[in-house]
A and B are shown apart, each in its own frame.
Chain A
Amino acid sequence: MKFARLVWANLKRKKVRTLLTLASIFVAFVLYGYLAAIRTALSAGVDVAGADRLVVRHKVSIIQLLPASYEADIEKVEGVADATYSTWFGGIYQEPRNFFPQMVVNPEEYLAMYPEFVLPKEQKDEWLRTRTGAVVGRTTANRFGWKAGDKIPIQATFWSHGGGNKIWEFDLVGIYDGAKDGVDTTQFLFRFDYFDEARDNVRGWVGWYIVKVEDPAHADAVARAIDETFANSPAETKAETEGAFVRAFAEQIGNIGAIMQAILSAVFFTILLVAGNTMAQSVRERTGELAVLKAVGFTDGQVLSLVLAEALGIAALGGFAGLALSYFLISLGDPTGGNLPLFFFPTRDVIVGAAIVVFLGFATGFFPALQAGRLRIADALRRLA
């Protein structure tokens, strides 16, 4: 502790240089926090995907529809515990930037399939009684200030009813919460029976099926059996685990993890050079002072530790401040206004960030510290004279 003042005094030696180095580390860790949150937001579904659930879609593409009659056939496949369907509605609330997912579902089957969606019983009963009823996740409800009893008009981009009318009006009957962190609470769910009867075209078709298997260990075999059931039919299927489905969906814009890793690697490598150069320069500039410390009795190890402590100090000040600010800003919520509903800084990434801070300190300080530790007093003093 008595050496801390010495370390601190040295950090203040060249204030502008130290501040610029701190700023570069700080910005790098703010960026790290945001990229971690974005990656999590884009792949969050993978983490919360049910291990016992399959998604069955059209073999060609997710946007190709499947017959509603497949449900009964799927439920007959050995190993299938339950099946339900869902359809992407893709409507607009007020204006296009107010994006949130809208799904057409069978209420009872869907809630049974997704026990992580927690809806109070009276609200569920109300939904079952109300054909135009809809429920929405807490995040979206809070975003627009909705409450049960509201009428929600949504303009369809594709589905029309009543001979070309694209405005659909729903009665909001409930708000669901997530049973655990990471559950998507942005969805707007409404009834398939109302939708199918009202829409102008392709009645009796659904977007995809969600299938619960009896034993997750046999999920692949069940998926193959489902695909075989519909092989050579006009609408062949592709069944896969929900995790694989969500991952493939997320990776439509590329391998997000690899992209993030590449960006962060470049950023941290640059920071390593910047901070390392700062430390090396700082040690070169005060060769004489370090020699004096040794002359008055500081050991090689103590001088090495002092320089290393400075490097760790810079990394810690900039890095932890960056992590703290990004944590705070991320906790304020999705900066895109709804495109990244599961936007948070995962604890695992915070811990990894803290480990990177420490590593950065050691990596930037190691060689200058070694150089300082090996400094020969007489040679250094001779250079000063």
Chain B
Amino acid sequence: MSDANGTLVRVEKVSKTFKRGAEEIHVLDGLDLSLQKGEFLALMGPSGSGKSTLLNIIGGLDSPTAGAVSVDGERIDRLSGRKLAAWRARHIGLVFQFYNLLPVLSAERNVELPLLLTRLSGGQRKKHVATALAVVGLSHREKHYPRELSGGEQQRVGIARGIVTDPTLLLCDEPTGDLDRKSGDEVLDLLGALNREHGKTIIMVTHDPHAAARASRKLYLDKGRLSQEPIA
């Protein structure tokens, strides 16, 4: 549930520092961000600017060095590892640049993975998987293994895995970064449809202005800070 202003994600004064030997690298520096429910945010910036780090922190895959992160009214930076895992399973869908499908599982089994953590029966899981694969247009490829699918198809399976639990937030890290233009467009069409037709709130990290143009809002990240415009 979003708060009274419809804010789903609230990032307040978040910093992230990595240590490399004696050196401290400040990736995020007191960063603030709000995201409304139903928004499609494109997060842009040069390599090493901290886009993926911010995405990981919002998705509960990493913790901030300082600051607060609330998603759907819940302070996730305060959750223990176990509770955070359960929270991710319930609220977060993830789409990766390199799909990250398990090569030993068929498309339907890959999509089913997040559902294994629910109390759904085998039959119910099968229905959810079929729906998710239908949404991404891959019902006919459910028995195929990742090696038997094209890059675009693998990414669509990845999106089906990301949406199968009907998560609060869909986080996409360079979802078209490994695809040709045609396949990339198909994936972007799909993400757009999920946002418009299914009301999914999406944060997409991308280098590609063409991809970012599909989003309802764009933000630029550089030197640990966010801005509305590219930083010169």
Name B100-146 residues within 8 Å CB distance of A. 100, 102-105, 109, 113-114, 116-117, 122
Contact B102 A3 (CB under 8 A): no
In the complex, B161 has a CB within 8 A of chain A: yes
Question: Can you report 27 A-B residue pairs in the complex whose CB atoms are below 8 A from each other?
Answer: A2-B116, A2-B122, A3-B116, A6-B105, A6-B113, A9-B102, A9-B105, A288-B100, A292-B100, A295-B59, A295-B61, A295-B88, A296-B117, A297-B85, A297-B89, A297-B117, A298-B85, A298-B89, A298-B117, A299-B81, A300-B82, A300-B85, A377-B61, A378-B61, A381-B56, A382-B52, A385-B98
Output the nearest chain A residue to B85 by Cβ-Cβ distance. A299
16 further contact pairs, Cβ within 8 A, besides A296-B113, A300-B81: A2-B116, A2-B122, A9-B102, A9-B104, A13-B103, A292-B102, A293-B113, A296-B94, A297-B89, A298-B89, A299-B82, A301-B82, A378-B53, A384-B100, A385-B97, A385-B98
What total of chain B residues lie within 8 Å of the partner, measured CB to CB? 30
Contact A385 B52 (CB under 8 A): yes
| Cα-based distance from A292 to B116 in the complex (angstroms) | 14
Out of A10, A288, A299, A384, name the residue touching B86 (CB < 8 Å).
Answer: A299
Write the residues of chain B forming the contact surface with A, with a CB cutoff of 8 angstroms. 52-53, 56, 59, 61-62, 81-82, 85-86, 88-90, 92, 94, 96-98, 100, 102-105, 109, 113-114, 116-117, 122, 161
In the complex, A131 has a CB within 8 A of chain B: no
For this complex, into which size category does the number of interface residues on chain A fall?
20 to 34
| Min CB–CB distance B55 → chain A (angstroms) | 10
| Min CB–CB distance B79 → chain A (angstroms) | 12
Write the residues of chain A forming the contact surface with B, with a CB cutoff of 8 angstroms. 2-3, 5-6, 9-10, 12-13, 288-289, 292-302, 377-378, 381-382, 384-385
| Min CB–CB distance B119 → chain A (angstroms) | 11
Out of B62, B97, B109, name the residue touching A5 (CB < 8 Å).
Answer: B109
Contacts A296-B94, A384-B98; A378 near B109 (Cβ below 8 A): no
| Cα-based distance from A228 to B161 in the complex (angstroms) | 88
| Cα-based distance from A5 to B97 in the complex (angstroms) | 26
